[in-house]
Amino acid sequence: MQVKSMHFKATSSAKLNDAVLQTALKKAKAKFVDGRAAAVAEIDIWQDIRTHAAALRDGVIANLDAYLLEFEANATARGAVVHWAETAEEANAIIVDLAKKNAVKIVTKSKSMVSEEISLNDALEAVGVEVVETDLGEYILQLAKEPPSHIVAPAVHKSKEQVADLFEAAHHRPRTVDIPSMTREAREVLRSKFLNADMGISGANFVIAETGTTLTVTNEGNADLVTTVPRIHCVVTGIEKVIPTLEDFATLIRLLPRSATGQSAANYLTLTTGTKQPGDLDGPEQMHIVLIDAGRTKLVGSDMKEMLRCIRCGACMNHCPVYQNVGGHAYGWVYPGPMGAVLTPTYVGIEQAGDLPNAATFCGECQVVCPVKIPLPDLMRKWRERQFDRALRPFSERISIAVWSAFATRPALYAFSTRIVARVAAWMGGKNKRITSLPGLDGWTDGRDMPAPAGKTFRERYRARQVGQVGQVGRVGDMGAADEAGQRSKPTP
């Protein structure tokens, strides 16, 4: 997918003024956030399962080569062909070659974010193959010629009226905005594609080393038709998706649907192991698995290696106040929200995606809801540090941070200067205690007033309080984004 992350600021501004998008985002937020909370509340040991899942993902990543080789051996023993691709171009070349060799005319696809990374559809269409996206959301976007804006709900930004327009133009049937009727219409139109496709392409939520299995987690049933009907099944997936055992899958699937959509179970879990067996009436004759690096090995052993735990549930974006306001397209590449703020700079280069790690309030909610405990705010902070070290942020920002750092690392100087600033700012606030204009920071005060501080610094007030309440010192300031459900530490009142 073409990278547009460098336009984050301009795109975000436009998205904030897009009324259709804003309505869609508000609706999605309510569904995803409340749905997840209710689904998680049913699991009494949610935190234990998260901890186990994070450890099992770390265990694989620490021995990734061995687990990939074990997966390869077991998949090959069952008749699958395992391909390895270092880059998007290599992956596309492998799949285009497969299509050519087998005279493939129609490809049906189930949703795959990796295929979005590598722009697989473009590569296949360039050699005359008809590619049909079959996930309803992806199908809508294929008609609209747009990329997905969410990794689980790709067309979350579209209104039913917009979908109705697309369907009317493509299907030449009477326009309807009744959602069940539109869904049936897509089913009917896509049915003949499913049954006439030569090759089915799917992603993989995980691949299992123990059995050489690839698997998909879906609700619509499209992935099952894609992987069962055509004579060739091709899986495109990242090398980090390997897990050791079926038991590990059982653990991860307790977390994935609840985190993603608030479902207790996804409708279809399809574990595919090898090709059609003798006597089978359905199933593909050939199975190809393309394992893609495209930047992933850069994370192995790095100070951001936790990112490789990711199971692509989308909870981090659903709970991100930035995503909730600007939507996925603003992020300019495949992965929106906090996960994208870490992955996009890694995969496409920080030079092209410098605003993403900075588009965060560091509220910490992404880490709280992450089913595999990825410390997303820390990882975004690491990208910010690298940008500072490599002088990739604007001069004014770098000089401000350098000045701040000079004060913050000298406690006496810090205490003295903040005492002055607190008093000057309190005076500036006047009777209304609002600062309406800040010299040099009018970008902030143009749109809103800043509440004036009380006139004394936190440290002054804290010391005064301690003197008054000897022996009752509370924990102060630690709003650590550790866990939810009572485990989020709160300052003592």
Considering only residues 134 to 193 of the shown chain, the ones binding another protein according to CB under 8 A are 134-137, 140, 153-156, 158-160, 163, 179-180, 182-184, 187, 190-191
Choose, by CB under 8 A, the member of 53, 197, 307, 330 that binds another protein: 53
Single out the segment in contact with another protein by CB under 8 A; choices: 39-47, 315-323, 401-409, 426-434.
Answer: 39-47
Single out the segment in contact with another protein by CB under 8 A; choices: 3-11, 27-35, 325-333, 450-458.
Answer: 27-35
Phi/psi zone of residue 391: left (φ > 0), alpha (ψ -120 to 50 degrees), beta?
A: left
Q: Show the binding pattern over residues 295-314: x = contacts another protein (CB under 8 A), - = does not.
A: --xx-xxx------------
Between residue 459 and residue 488, which ones bind another protein under the rule CB under 8 A?
Answer: none
Query: What minimum distance in Å lies between the beta carbon of 460 and another protein?
Result: 48
Pick the closer one to another protein by CB: 181 or 352: 181
Q: Show the binding pattern over residues 380-419: x = contacts another protein (CB under 8 A), - = does not.
A: ----------------------------------------
Q: Which of 400, 135, 172 is nearest to 268 (CA)?
A: 135
Query: What minimum distance in Å lies between the beta carbon of 125 and another protein?
Result: 23
Using CB under 8 A as the binding rule, whether residue 19 contacts another protein is answered as no
Amino acid at position 195, single letter: L
Query: What minimum distance in Å lies between the beta carbon of 208 and another protein?
Result: 9
Which tokens is 417 given?
Answer: 């200067």
Phi/psi zone of residue 301: left (φ > 0), alpha (ψ -120 to 50 degrees), beta?
A: left
Using CB under 8 A as the binding rule, whether residue 123 contacts another protein is answered as no
Using CB under 8 A as the binding rule, whether residue 275 contacts another protein is answered as yes
Using CB under 8 A as the binding rule, whether residue 232 contacts another protein is answered as no
Which tokens is 377 given?
Answer: 């705010």
Pick the closer one to another protein by CB: 296 or 384: 296
Between residue 311 and residue 370, which ones bind another protein under the rule CB under 8 A?
Answer: none
Residues in the chain: 493
Report the C-alpha gap between 407 and 414 in whole angstroms: 5
Report the C-alpha gap between 147 and 138 in whole angstroms: 8
Pick the closer one to another protein by CB: 245 or 417: 245
Choose, by CB under 8 A, the member of 6, 43, 363, 401 that binds another protein: 43
Single out the segment in contact with another protein by CB under 8 A; choices: 24-32, 317-325, 378-386, 417-425.
Answer: 24-32
Between residue 72 and residue 91, which ones bind another protein under the rule CB under 8 A?
Answer: 84-86, 90
Query: What minimum distance in Å lies between the beta carbon of 175 and another protein?
Result: 14
Pick the closer one to another protein by CB: 208 or 374: 208
Pick the closer one to another protein by CB: 121 or 211: 211
Choose, by CB under 8 A, the member of 245, 361, 400, 432 that binds another protein: 245
Query: What minimum distance in Å lies between the beta carbon of 105 and another protein?
Result: 19
Single out the segment in contact with another protein by CB under 8 A; choices: 8-16, 216-224, 375-383, 470-478.
Answer: 216-224
